[in-house]
């Protein structure tokens, strides 16, 4: 059974509530990958979910720590979380560069997937900062040097470029609405399997590639809300899409 490590897809929000003269604060913790967790439950894939706040210290610092995983999903987590663990940020100590670790692990045969979001690829205000990093070297796409969000509040479907590819088996027909993507540029030699319709810019949606002996993929929309509509998350093709994609990433080669 392939072991998959999902890194990111969590956040904490702080709110101040004003009621006339009085006010109070509240803090809420959110997990964004519940649709994927549900879709993979009981499947052929064993998923480990490492929320963003745990990744700063919990993501492995060496190859041995990644040896048990067949695929890594980076989803809505900026490069700084892995570049600036407390040992570096608070104590100015040196630690292994985990972006280089991911690159080298992939080259040795691992499967790497980046999923879109406000802190994926280059992200909101360019703050995800994956451009020109060792992780970008492994991806089948290049990140843009600025805020790369493409918001589609009216919703749009997907255009399948290679509908017969194994990753898209059983996914023909109209897809439920997407509400946005990160804009990226496919690298030479990559495979664009799906994109937004031409009237929405034709931006890549699902791109496959290879780095060394490892396979890589970019899904430029979300793993769940808000860029995936509720209809998309409950669509029977949702689970099939992720299982197909993870199957391709972890296939023996």
DSSP labels for 175-238? PPPEEEEE-EEEPTT-EEEEE--GGGT--EEEEEEEETTEEEEEE-S-SSTTTB-HHHHHSHHH
Task: Report, as an integer, the average pLDDT of 108-129.
Answer: 98
Q: How much is the pLDDT for 179?
A: 98
Q: How much is the pLDDT for 63?
A: 96
* Confidence class for position 252, pLDDT limits 50, 70, 90: confident
Q: How much is the pLDDT for 253?
A: 72
Q: How much is the pLDDT for 137?
A: 98
Q: What is the pLDDT of residues 159-193, one digit of tens each?
A: 999 999 999 999 999 999 999 999 999 999 999 99
Residue 240 has pLDDT above 80, yes or no: yes
Task: Report, as an integer, the average pLDDT of 72-83.
Answer: 98
Q: What is the pLDDT of residues 188-223, one digit of tens each?
A: 999 999 999 999 999 999 999 999 999 999 999 999
Q: How much is the pLDDT for 220?
A: 98
Domains, the chain, with CATH or none: 3-250 (3.40.50.880)
| Residue corresponding to tokens 């998350």 | 233
* Confidence class for position 149, pLDDT limits 50, 70, 90: very high
Cis before residue 75, ω within 30 degrees of 0?
A: no
Residues 6+ away with beta carbon under 8 Å from 40: 4, 47, 239, 242, 243
Q: What is the pLDDT of residues 44-61, one digit of tens each?
A: 999 999 999 999 999 999
Do the beta carbons of residue 221 and residue 116 sit within 8 Å? yes
Q: How much is the pLDDT for 166?
A: 97
């Amino acid at each position: 059974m392939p072991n998959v490590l999902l890194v990111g897809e969590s956040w904490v929000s702080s709110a101040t509530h004003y009621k006339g003269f009085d006010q109070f604060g509240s803090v809420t913790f959110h997990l964004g990958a519940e649709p994927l967790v549900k879709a993979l439950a009981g499947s052929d894939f064993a998923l480990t979910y490492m929320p963003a706040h745990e990744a700063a210290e919990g993501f492995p610092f060496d190859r041995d720590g990644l040896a048990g995983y067949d695929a890594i999903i980076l989803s809505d987590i900026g490069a700084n979380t892995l570049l600036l663990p407390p040992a570096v940020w608070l104590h100015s100590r040196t630690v292994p560069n985990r972006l280089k670790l991911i690159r080298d692990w992939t080259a040795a045969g691992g499967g790497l997937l980046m999923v879109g979001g406000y802190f994926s690829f280059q992200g909101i205000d360019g703050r995800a900062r994956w451009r020109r990093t060792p992780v970008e070297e492994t991806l089948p796409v290049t990140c843009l040097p600025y805020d790369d969000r493409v918001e589609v509040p009216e919703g749009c479907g997907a255009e399948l470029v290679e509908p017969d590819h194994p990753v898209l088996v059983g996914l023909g027909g109209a897809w439920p609405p997407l509400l946005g993507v990160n804009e990226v540029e496919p690298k030479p030699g990559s495979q664009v399997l799906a994109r937004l319709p031409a009237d929405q810019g034709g931006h890549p949606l699902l791109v496959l590639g290879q780095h060394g002996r490892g396979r890589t993929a970019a899904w430029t929309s979300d793993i769940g809300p808000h860029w995936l509509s509720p209809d998309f998350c409950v669509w029977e093709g949702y689970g099939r899409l992720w299982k197909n994609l993870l199957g391709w990433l972890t296939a023996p080669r």
